[in-house]
Amino acid sequence: MASRRNLDPTDYRRERNLEEIRVQAEATRQLQVVGQPEKTSFPRATPEDGYYGLPILKKTPWTWEIPLYFFVGGAAGAAAVIGAIADYTGADRELVRHARWIAAAGSVISPALLIADLGRPERFLAMLRVFKPQSPMSVGVWTLLGFSSGATAAAFADFLTRRYGPSIPLRVLENAGQAASLAFGLPFSNYTGVLIGVSAIPVWNRNATDLPLHFAASGLGAAVGMLELMGHHKNRVLHTLGLGAALFESWEGLRIEARSNPDLDPLKHGASGFVTRAGGILSGPVPALLRSGSFFSSRRRSQSLRRWAAWSAIAGSLITRFAWMHAGRQSAKEWKPPVQREAGLSRQATK
Amino acid sequence: MPGLGTSFGRGGATTAQPDLANADAILIMGSSMAENHPVGFQWVMEAREKGAKLIHVDPRFTRTSAMADIWLPLRAGTDIIFLGALIRYVFENNRVFHDYVVPYTNASTILREDFRDTEDLDGFFSGWDAEKQKYDPETWLYQGAQKTGSSSSPGHSEAGGGHGKDRGGEAQDPAGFRSDATLQHPRCVFQVLKRHFSRYTPELVEQQCGIPREAFLKAAEAFTAASGPEKTAAICYAVGWTQHSKGVQIIRAAAILQLLLGNIGRPGGGILALRGHASIQGSTDIPTLYDILPGYLPMPFFEKDSQKLDSYVKKHSARTGLWAGFDKYFISLMRAYYGESATEENDWGFNWLPRVTGDHSHFGYWLDMADGKLEGLFVMGQNPAVGAANGRLERKALANLKWLVVRDMVEIETASFWYASPEVERGELSPDTIGTEVFLFPASGTAEKAGTFTNTQRLLQFREKAVDPPGDNRSDLWFVYHLGRRLKARAGAASRDAALRALTWDYPTEGKHDEPSPSEVLKEINGWSMADGKQLHHIKDLKNDGSTACGAWIYCGVHPEEDRNRALERNSKDALGHGWGFAWPNDCRIIYNRASARPDGKPWSERKKLVWWDDEKKQWTGLDTPDYEKETPPHAPAHIEEGEGTSALGGARPFTLHPDGVGWLYVPSGLKDGPLPAHYEALEAPVKNSLYSQNTNPAADKKQRPDNPYANAHGDPRFPYVLSTYRLTEQHTAGGMTRHLSHLNELQPELFTEVSPELAAERGLKHGEWATITTARGALEAKVLITPRILPLRIDGRTVHQVGLPYHWGYMGQATGDVANDLLAISEEPNVRIMETKALLCDVHPGRRDRHAPVSERVPSYEESRA
Amino acid sequence: MSVTAFLTDATLCIGCKACEVACKEWNGIDEDGLQFSGFSYDNTGSVGASTWRHVKFVEQAPLPGLGGNSGEQVSWTFSSDVCKHCGEAGCLEACPTGSIVRTEFGGVFIQPDVCNGCGYCVTACPFGVVERNSKDGRAFKCTFCYDRQKAGLEPACAKVCPTESIKFGELEQLRQKADERIAELHDRGMTDANLYDPLDTSVAGVHALFIIRGDARTYNLPPAPEVPTIYLKKAWTSSALAAGLLFGGTLLAFLSAGKNGR
Ligand SMILES: Nc1nc2c(c(=O)[nH]1)N[C@H]1C(S)=C(S)[C@@H](COP(=O)(O)OP(=O)(O)OC[C@H]3O[C@@H](n4cnc5c(=O)[nH]c(N)nc54)[C@H](O)[C@@H]3O)O[C@H]1N2
Ligand SMILES: Nc1nc2c(c(=O)[nH]1)N[C@H]1C(S)=C(S)[C@@H](COP(=O)(O)OP(=O)(O)OC[C@H]3O[C@@H](n4cnc5c(=O)[nH]c(N)nc54)[C@H](O)[C@@H]3O)O[C@H]1N2
Ligand code: SF4
Ligand code: SF4
Ligand code: SF4
Ligand code: SF4
Ligand code: SF4
Ligand SMILES: [Mo]
């Protein structure tokens, strides 16, 4: 009677099979164990890896426009400085003019890149609502504005002068423009280092001191390289400046390599580390060696070495900006750095 | 809800959610309350914060467990062992609240000599008819019980039906009952109980539930210590208890425990049935069920004596207690249905009511449909293609219909089975050959119509319409009313149309779409006097002479004046919420609350006072509406032998729906599977029943057939793991209301299965990747979530792994996934005919499912599995 | 107007995500993807442009005290995260347009009509809260329900929380409440309960306090958050030095090369 309800012998064929299986199962009573728990993994939240290892920080939303802007700005700013000082020291007019052109081109391309990043031109105007000294971006935008007006004014005046001959208003414009482009070009060439240094991204803010210097040197290297490629490859001053920039960049690279702070890992490991090193080598040791080599080479060879150095410095400067952006993104993805700084903040009420 | 109905008299939660805040311990079992009733859970948290012990017993560590002081993982389907052991603990450790139990329960009542327990008959109570596969419950009656009804075995009509017995079993005349107030008589309920549960030991809990003995004892102590005159403990349950082949008996076990501890009718005590949909309590009160009429009046069955109102009334009314008014409730209902057409001469239209001829429950008619016996179907507010067990069978059955009307707010799976179901994908069904004509009607949602909800605590709340429904969307009231109107207009002279002709169907309509007024419907439900149309105030106003009409006697008083709708009231005056909505009956928030006072009418303790006798005013008074005759003093003697109605119960019998006025530890009639809970394994279980050689509930109906097969009942090597299905906070039931909403879908976008690290290792499952789960019915694929929150249990010396599966997904909407119910079998618990969703056998493998063959063709046969 | 704040108490949170949904509903925020994450019941991951309230599901090593006799088995803590409305807010300081302002309630609010989407605030938030929306490019985060607060209502997320896990009120009062609550929790055996309120750091305290169990890092709450403005001095000094070097170096180079600078 008892078993009748559970399994009716008149049941379907499959069910009869089940009855037999049951008997067999009872005989063995054993489940086959295939593996051990250690073999499975699943995410857990721990103080060591945080909340399932998910990043705490948001990575920067900036796309290619911004690192390119860093590059252009750096080169343009440095070019403006070179142009102005060359002018004041009475250097080659052609050099002054070319430097101005680079600065002017940069001051047109730069806002275009920013606008491309923002999506719509009128959005750029929102930047001009306020001036906030505590916001490097605000300071930077006003700097860009000053620089752009100065650099374009100088280049424009220069152009008109050449076309229609000199005149007093043009001279005034040219001088004022040049002065402005020098004054603003100096910060403009390196403020982007401040911009990312003053952030919550560990790999950036850990380098807040180095970044402006680094970016300035990188911009200088690129500006020099551009001028050299525009036909000033025999200019010794540029050569010296290029060498200086390359040496500084080499030193900067060594400094990064020498510091063992894990927050700097994105600069040394993985894809971002590779790009950083590539950029660093191209802006530092390579041009430094090429330029040093050029001192001891035949004239033709020396010029070719300088051209290579110029190319290398430009490429290095460009790659470096992308590398920092990449490293910033990588750094934001890493869970550990932002929580590593311990502080006794958890207040446990005293009873 | 016959578990509560037979034990206490009414099929509804005995308490209200806000009252949980008064509990000293809360046992949540068979529900993940924090997840599925998060708003109500605030009062559980409040109690916990006030120091109450919170115990959660659940196979999984859920969001509710995370809030608990004690979580005990138990093997799905072993709840009766756990509760039985708690009951035994109460006996063994003298935790019985004697002063409550003796006067307020049937502990002292003596049983017949020929009653035999499961302990004597190895898993059967006396009266098992192996031929008919059902019980003859005659021997379960009390000694000296007289049957007032005319049917041979009270409460057990041939053709199923359990809900109607919520009123506490078939009428019995208590005149001849014998009792022993010392509780010493060997056949008194108290002693029978003691013997019955003596085998439910902590050791058995350890062996069979998988809960370590010490852990069990810790919980048992915490719960029982929080009971007595100064303290109370509450129990909350939901479908983790009901959806078993023995669900009603699990609830019965809880009722026994709470009665022994004196926790019913008292603040912070009680049993809270957490009901599912917003108005699911409403849909049993004014039923969508086939076997009852509004107010739990049984539907007449097709039987030889079912033609006469007299015998129907006699069968279902009692001489003593509230059911003495059965004729008043019934005749008033007929007057509400048929108005002036219902007359004394035509038995108040009794014979216009249809008769129940068989199992017309969901599964009953669905299997008929699968067998081609049904032509058409209305599906309104349900999504059986996803929500009902054995999804493949359910969907294929739909293809046998001529027409199908679906009314829903979105295109649900039930309406799209003919082109989007897995059966179509597998080529079992094809849109080209399906003959079913499907009509999909847009229904308006809750915010787009007015009306009442009756929630889990029997509280009616009327809500106004917030916005007009868009487009062609109409309320269900509109649809049913206008359908009825059209049918009525077509009614001819034939006698089969007589009921239609007689039906009053004259609700006023409003607006450009002729929406019937829901408050007019509520007025009819409340009831009025036929003579002057005045609203009734109280159940006591109902008459058996046809002078009153009332749509549902238990709701009487909700709309006591023409312009007073108590369900619409929003001025909560106290912690129990009086002044906000209307709780049936009579706005009692905690029912049977007479039991909150001692027999002499004084509260058991100051701390736990609720309702008491006011000697000055000569009436019952207190913090809640007294659930008692207001003016019957506590010392009024009972006249059980000869009295009539509630007055026969005297002043100290709180369970007024029972003819003897007490709570039933032992249920002599009204249940189909026994007067006491006994442990049976689930229909599919990994082990044999360790208590009896009878493995499963003998009265349960497996509906076993080729398209509804089972794994072996105990230990099937093809399906070694226990599977349980459940809910997630982020989704709702079959998904029609959530899987189309992005703000919810993003929170739980995909079907997943929860497994322990040990099982994952055993089967090579990888976190976040696919797994295929199979049962004897079907297969599905789900993402793997490995978590230590699922524990492998030690059962009888071996490891039993559990597989958890939420059941909300389907093939329509924004977030789609396989249908969990494709894995389930159609089965019927004997009393309420619900399926077993919580304990099954399955297997699980890494990888995705085969999209082309139904699993039944791929599960290896015995021969293959041996090869 | 007094400074308002949140106190979100993980010991009361049941993980119902009502706050997360209410925030999205009130603010009309888009869904952010239908991906199963496998991180417990959390399929959102973190706060961001399209999630301003986010409930964390911390499945961690067993904790003492409440929570499913977790001392022995497992534990699961829920914690609802939100913008911290920092006392010294990196995002606000960084914003070049002045779009981010401090409201009269002390909250940090992005004016959507001013924001130009420069994304600088994103790199300036030490909690990874504010994010640029990929569709229209502007930055978004919790508004502290500025609109509701102005109308005298409490924030939507606090309003819906069924268990009062999210408390909204006056900052100093909540700080005091938090201390009392922690003392109480310790008495109840939850010795690992603690308050996350980085007062002594450069963010100068937050207006969203959190009561949590165990180590803050488990919840991705940085123990020592820094407002990036602390790097301003360093960076600008270095910038000035760089400018000086560039100027001086170039000048020197040209001067030393003599006329014509060849
Ligand atoms: N958010 C949300 N809320 C809902 C719903 C929803 O879909 N979503 N549905 C509503 C409806 S219709 C209903 S009926 C209710 C249901 O509310 P609940 O009953 O709480 O719902 P479930 O999640 O199905 O099951 C409850 C628990 O039972 C456990 N369980 C499984 N088997 C057993 C067993 O054998 N014994 C014991 N003791 N426990 C077991 C499961 O692990 C699960 O945690 O919720 C309602 N509320
Ligand atoms: N495996 C497994 N299966 C289960 C369960 C389980 O735990 N495990 N639980 C069972 C339980 S407790 C339940 S309650 C069922 C639920 O199963 P169903 O009731 O079939 O599922 P719902 O999705 O709730 O279906 C309700 C439908 O009504 C629609 N609706 C909402 N409001 C209205 C309205 O005003 N008018 C109309 N016409 N339609 C409306 C919704 O859009 C939705 O599609 O599932 C059962 N099935
Ligand atoms: S959905 Fe409605 S019924 Fe369910 S918990 Fe939320 S408020 Fe209560
Ligand atoms: S948490 Fe981030 S977004 Fe919020 S106020 Fe602070 S810095 Fe700004
Ligand atoms: S994205 Fe908008 S809010 Fe953020 S810094 Fe830029 S302008 Fe300010
Ligand atoms: S305060 Fe308002 S905006 Fe902020 S999380 Fe809460 S609901 Fe969202
Ligand atoms: S609403 Fe409250 S309880 Fe729910 S998840 Fe949010 S904080 Fe937790
Ligand atoms: Mo339900």
| Ligand 7 atom closest to C78 (CA) | 8
Pairing of strands C4-9, B619-622: unpaired
Q: What is the distance in angstroms between the Cα of A280 and the nearest Cα belonging to chain C?
A: 18
Of B433, B419, B415, B421, nearest to B393 by C-alpha is B421
Rg, Å, chain C Cα set: 22
Closest Cβ opposite residue A34 in set B688, B715, B762: B762
The DSSP bridge partners found for residue B453 are: B461
Please give the distance, rounded to the nearest whole angstrom, from the Cα atom of residue C150 to the centre of ligand 7.
Answer: 23
Q: Looking at residues B771-800, what average pLDDT do you find?
A: 91
Residues of A in contact with C193 (CB under 8 A): 348
Question: What's the pLDDT band for A295 if we cut at 50, 70, 90?
Answer: confident
What are the pLDDT digits (tens) for B98-139?
999 999 999 999 999 999 999 999 999 999 999 999 999 999
Question: Residue C79 is encoded by which pair of tokens?
Answer: 């914690």
Interval B57-68 mean pLDDT: 94
Chains in contact with C, where contact means 3 or more Cβ–Cβ distances below 8 Å, are: A, B
Examine the pLDDT at A259 and tell me if it is beyond 60: yes
Query: Long-range contacts made by residues B855-864, C-beta under 8 angstroms, separation at least 24?
Result: B855/B774, B855/B775, B855/B777, B855/B778, B855/B779, B856/B709, B856/B776, B856/B777, B856/B778, B858/B779, B859/B718, B859/B774, B859/B776, B860/B718, B861/A14, B861/A17, B862/A17, B862/A18, B862/A20, B862/A21, B863/A17
Asked if C69 and B69 count as a contact pair (C-beta separation under 8 A), the reply is yes
Would the pLDDT of B176 be above 70?
yes
**pLDDT, tens digit (0-9, with 9 covering 90-100), for B591-630:** 999 999 999 999 999 999 999 999 999 999 999 999 999 9
B496 interface with C at CB cutoff 8 Å: no
Quote the CA–CA distance of B264 and B271 in Å, as a whole number: 7
Q: How many CA atoms lie within 13 A of B567 on its CB side?
A: 28
Dmax over CA atoms of chain B, in Å, equals 85
Question: Touching check for A243 and chain C: CB below 8 Å?
Answer: no
Rounded-to-integer distance, Cα B75 and Cα B794, Å: 9
Nearest in space to A6 (alpha carbons), one of B246, B367, B701: B701
pLDDT confidence of residue B1: 73
Kindly report which listed range (A22-31, B110-119, B854-863) carries the lowest average pLDDT score.
A22-31
DSSP-derived pairing of the beta strands C100-102 and C108-110: antiparallel
**Stretch B335-347: mean pLDDT:** 96
3-state SS, residue B792: coil
DSSP B658: S
Q: What is the mean pLDDT of residues B162-190?
A: 77
Mark B430-463 as b/e (b = at least 16 C-beta within 10 Å). eeeebeeebebbbbbbbebbbbbbbbbbbbbbbb
Residue B282 backbone phi and psi in degrees, to 5: -60, -35
Among A42, A44, A46, the strongest candidate for a mutation testing the B interface, having the largest count of B CBs within 10 A, is A42
Alpha helical stretches, state H, B606-748: 742-745
Cα separation, A99 vs A220, in Å, equals 12
pLDDT of residue B860: 55
Distance CA B140, CA B117 (A): 9
C101 touches chain A (CB under 8 A): no
For the domain bounded by B721-866, which CATH number is listed?
Answer: 2.40.40.20
- State percent of chain B over pLDDT 90: 85
Checking DSSP bridges between strand B128-129 and strand B134-135, what pairing results, if any?
antiparallel
Q: Is B510 at the interface with chain C, CB within 8 A?
A: no
Q: Show the tokens assigned to B664.
A: 């039933």
> pLDDT confidence of A339, banded at 50, 70, 90?
low
Enter the tokens of residue C17.
């995500």
Identify whether the C-beta of residue C236 lies closer than 8 Å to the C-beta of residue C33: no
Write the burial class of residue A344 (CB in 10 Å: 0-12 exposed, 13-18 middle, 19+ buried): exposed
Q: Is the CB of C55 under 6 A from ligand 5?
A: no
User: For residue A163, how many other CB atoms are within 10 A of its CB?
Assistant: 7
Query: Which pLDDT score is estimated for B857?
Result: 57
CA distance B787 to A124: 50
Q: Is C258 helix (H, G, I), strand (E, B) or coil?
A: coil
pLDDT of residue B852: 77
Calculate how far, in angstroms, residue B67's C-alpha sits from the geometric centre of ligand 7.
13
Element counts in chain A: helices (H) and strands (E): 16, 0
pLDDT at B157 > cutoff 50: no
Instruction: Identify the pLDDT of residue B155.
Output: 41
Please state which CATH number belongs to domain A65-334. Answer: 1.20.1630.10
pLDDT at position B858, please? 56
C-alpha B20 to ligand 3 mean position (Å): 17
From the DSSP assignment, how many helices (H) and strands (E) are in chain B?
Answer: 24, 31
Query: H or E element: which one contains A2?
Result: helix A2-6
Strand partners, B715: none
Q: What are phi and psi of A125, to 5 degrees?
A: -65, -30
For B2-49, write each residue's pLDDT tens digit.
899 999 999 889 999 999 999 999 999 999 999 999 999 999 999 999
CB contact under 8 A, B130 and A1: yes
Query: Reduced to 3 DSSP states, what percent helix, strand and coil does chain C have, rounded to the nearest 5?
Result: 30, 20, 50
- C-beta separation of B47 from B54 below 8 A: yes
Mean pLDDT of B650-667: 95
Find the mean pLDDT for residues B223-242.
97
In tens digits, what is the pLDDT along chain C, a chain of 262 residues?
Answer: 589 999 999 999 999 999 999 999 999 998 888 999 999 999 999 999 999 999 999 988 766 544 444 445 678 999 999 999 999 999 999 999 999 999 999 999 999 999 999 999 999 999 999 999 988 899 999 999 999 999 999 999 999 999 999 999 999 999 999 999 999 999 988 888 999 999 989 999 999 999 999 899 999 999 899 999 999 999 999 999 999 999 999 999 999 886 554 5
Cα–Cα distances in angstroms (integers) from residue C147 to residues B114, B273, C112, C114, in the given order: 75, 40, 13, 17
d(CA B561, CA B559): 6
Is residue C210 in contact with ligand 6, taking CB distance under 6 Å? no
Whether the per-residue pLDDT at B859 is higher than 90: the answer is no
Distance CA A132, CA C96 (A): 7
Residue B314: pLDDT over 70: yes
pTM of the predicted protein model: 0.92
Q: What is the CATH architecture assignment of C4-226?
A: 2-Layer Sandwich (3.30)
Question: Nearest bound ligand to CA C107?
Answer: 4
Q: How far is the CA of B445 from the centre of ligand 2 (A)?
A: 14
Measured CA angle at B373 (ends B368, B376), to 5 deg: 100
Which pLDDT belongs to residue A168? 94
Q: How far apart are CA A275 and CA A282, in angstroms?
A: 10
| Ligand in closest contact with the CA of C100 | 5
For A64, C56, C57, the CA distances from C218, given in Å and listed in that order, are: 34, 10, 11
Q: How far is the CA of B32 from the centre of ligand 1 (A)?
A: 6
Instruction: Give the pLDDT band of residue A35 (cuts 50, 70, 90).
Output: very low
**Is residue B380 in contact with ligand 2, taking CB distance under 6 Å?**
yes
- The pLDDT assigned to B148 comes to 47
Domain B2-143+178-273 of CATH type 3.40.228.10: yes
Q: Quote the pLDDT of residue C33.
A: 87
What are B673-732's pLDDT values in tens digits?
Answer: 999 999 999 999 999 999 999 999 999 999 999 999 999 767 788 899 999 999 999 999
Residue B768 backbone zone (phi > 0: left; psi -120 to 50: alpha; other: beta): left
The pLDDT assigned to C250 comes to 95
* Chain-chain contact of C38 with B783 (C-beta, under 8 angstroms): yes
b/e sequence B146-161, b meaning 16+ C-beta within 10 Å: ebbbebebbbbbebbb
Q: Which residues contact A220 (CB under 8 A, 6 or more apart)?
A: A78, A82, A189, A241, A242, A244, A245, C246, C250
Query: What is the predicted pLDDT for the residue at A315?
Result: 97
CA distances to B638, C42, C64 from C75, rounded to whole Å, are 54, 15, 9
Nearest to B339 by CA among B223, B506, B205, B456: B506
pLDDT at A22 over 60: no
Q: What per-residue confidence (pLDDT) applies to A91?
A: 83
Tell me where in chain B the CATH 2.40.40.20 domain(s) lie.
721-866
Tokens read off for B812 = 């329509």
Question: How far is B595 from B104, CA to CA, in rounded Å?
Answer: 7
Poorest-pLDDT segment among B327-331, B469-473, B807-811, C189-193: C189-193
B182: three-class secondary structure by DSSP: coil
B339 contacts: CB under 8 Å, gap ≥ 6:
B502, B504, B549
Q: What integer best gives the mean pLDDT of chain B?
A: 92
What is the C-alpha to C-alpha distance for residues B1 and A334, in angstroms, rounded to an integer? 55
Choose the residue to mutate in C115, C122, C131 for probing ligand 5, maximizing ligand atoms within 8 Å of C-beta. Answer: C115
Q: Which residues line ligand 7 (CB under 6 A)?
A: C 13-19, 55, 78, 80, 160-163, 165-166
Judged against a pLDDT cut of 50, whether residue B315 lies above it is answered with: yes
Contact between B9 and B215 (Cβ < 8 Å): no
Point out which residues pair with B129 in neighbouring strands: B134
Extended beta strands in B695-838, E state: 721-726, 752-755, 770-774, 779-786, 793-795, 798-800, 802-806
Average pLDDT of span B798-825: 95
Please, which pLDDT band fits residue A340 given cuts at 50, 70 and 90? low
Tell me which residue of C19, C10, C17 sits closest to C43, measured CA to CA.
C17
As a whole number of angstroms, the distance between CA A231 and CA A225 comes to 10
Amino acid at the residue A325: M
Distance CA(A114)–CA(C118), nearest Å, equals 8
Which one, of A173, A213, A219, A181, lies nearest residue A321 by Cα?
Answer: A219
CA distance B692 to C155: 58
Tokens of C4: 């308002």
Token look-up 């209301």 returns: B737
d(CA C142, CA C5): 13
Mean pLDDT of chain A: 86
| In chain A, where the domains are located | 65-334
Residue found by looking up tokens 């009794």 in the block: B350
- Chain A residues lying within 8 Å of C58, measured CB to CB: 45, 51
